[in-house]
Chain A
Amino acid sequence: MKGSYRIRIRSKRVSYDFTLYRNITIIQGDSATGKSTLVRLIDNYYNEGSSSGVKLECQKTCRVLGGKDWEHNLEAIKDSIVFLDEGNKFIKSDDFAEAIKNSDNYYVIITREDLSSLPYSVNEIYGIKINGKTLENEPVYNEMYRIYGSYTASRPIEPVMVITEDSNSGFYFFEHVCKQSGIKCISAEGKSKVVKHIKAETTDRILLIADGAAFGPHMREVMQYLKIYTNYMIYLPESFEWLILKSGIFRSKVITDILDNPSDYIESSEYFSWERFFTALLVKETADNKKISVYTKTGKLSNYYTNPENTNKILNELKNIKLL
């Protein structure tokens, strides 16, 4: 499945209106915000249709998955939006991750647990809040809000140290840039090791750069640390490859169209996360370009990306973050 899907669902008492953009969406937050009520309405409508008293508008079938026979039941679900309420222990299992990996469904998972087997985006972790009640007899209107967001700097910042989650091409790029301006740059060597560095580094004004497209499972832990270690700033582009594509180094209408609306191009059954899609897109773009070598994520970054002109183009995407 690809595309973004608006879901409008209402009963006499309560209504929800939200849009899904990717294959995996997480809903969490405080108790009693209406998460389980949402799942109950979806289930009522799927089983009883409009006779349930629930009204649902969505281009795709919405249904609920849960219980002991989830694996068997999931096999029969295609091209649908699948909701999972908390209380389903299997969501953290490798079996579940494997089952949804090449699936053409989108999944909305209600949980506070960090699902490290799933590569979900920091941008697709939502809470639910009441946005008011328009008239006395109208249902209470609920909307979803992003709990984290992209953390683009709202005011100019000049870090004195940079930590990248990436240990490959992204790290090479930022190390190259930081060397020129005397900024210390280290790699955390993976998402799960970021916290170790947050605890260890005491320098003021440290910039942490991670691939937002798959950093969702680590976000709650990192943000808890950043409440205590206030010397940190965090920047979460989709991925380093997304930064390169976004920078305009490769000008093409196709790339611009994709970046304007990635949901419409990223097939969930082919790409488990947007991070993988953007890497594949950059590889394809460079494979078709005779001027430069084919991009590799793990190999040494080509000098093409670190020449002054292209370095500046990439850095311009880091709004308000001064590294040079």
Chain B
Amino acid sequence: MLKVYFGDMEDSIYNTSVRFDNNYEDSWINSAIAKEIIKDIDNSEVLSANCIKSEVLGQISPTMLSGGTKTLLLIINEPTEIFNASTCGDNCAKWILKISENKDVIINLRHIMDFGRENFTLEVLNNNKIVHSMKELLPYASEYLR
């Protein structure tokens, strides 16, 4: 299940882009889910672990992937760490939910991410409440982001 801590969090990794650039491994890029994410978010195709074909930028290294994609790959591959997922746009929300479908995932949010109109399940770690929709989530997000 997805667990979200809203607001400042001492232990979370804030600059996810720097973390990714210095810590990613070839296997992260070659995984099936990474290829799907890179296609969906960055509109790019993984050619190899070191080369990604971007529609806009040409052939790029993984360090030139978007901040959102880098954060998603960190969440998948470094499960013991907590990452600042406010580096992810709303187009990453469905992936965060998908990644946490079969395992517990903790993220730190410093803004109100739009998880969409459909129902979802996540735990707000600030108060341990479970919510199933944006309507249920918003009051807690507002409270803890002040």
Contacts and interface: CB of A to CB of B under 8 A. Distances in A.
B144 to A, nearest CB: 12
A112 B111 contact: yes
Contacts of A140: 55-56
A25 B50 CA distance: 35
A35 B89 CA distance: 11
Given A29-B89, A36-B17, A112-B111, A227 B134 contact: yes
B142 A31 contact: no
B138 to A, nearest CB: 6
B110 A31 contact: no
A87 B66 contact: no
Contacts, number: 86
Given A87-B15, A112-B86, A32 B58 contact: no
A114 B109 CA distance: 12
Contact of A224 (B41, B110, B112): B112
A221 interface: yes
A207 to B, nearest CB: 21
B111 A199 contact: no
B10 to A, nearest CB: 12
Interface in B16-46: 16-18, 41-43
A287 interface: no
B85 to A, nearest CB: 10
Contacts of A313: none
Contacts of B90: 30
A79 interface: no
Contacts of A36: 17, 66-67
B69 A228 contact: no
Contact of A31 (B18, B69, B138, B146): B69
Interface residues of A, number: 32
A228 B17 contact: no
A87 B16 contact: yes
A134 to B, nearest CB: 14
Given A31-B67, A192-B146, A86 B138 contact: no
A113 B111 contact: yes
A31 B17 CA distance: 12
A304 B2 CA distance: 57
Interface string A80-115: 000000111100100000000000000000011110
Nearest to A142: B56
B58 A31 contact: no
B99 to A, nearest CB: 15
16 contacts: A13-B58, A30-B90, A31-B67, A31-B87, A32-B91, A37-B57, A87-B67, A89-B15, A92-B110, A112-B87, A113-B86, A113-B111, A114-B145, A221-B112, A221-B145, A228-B138
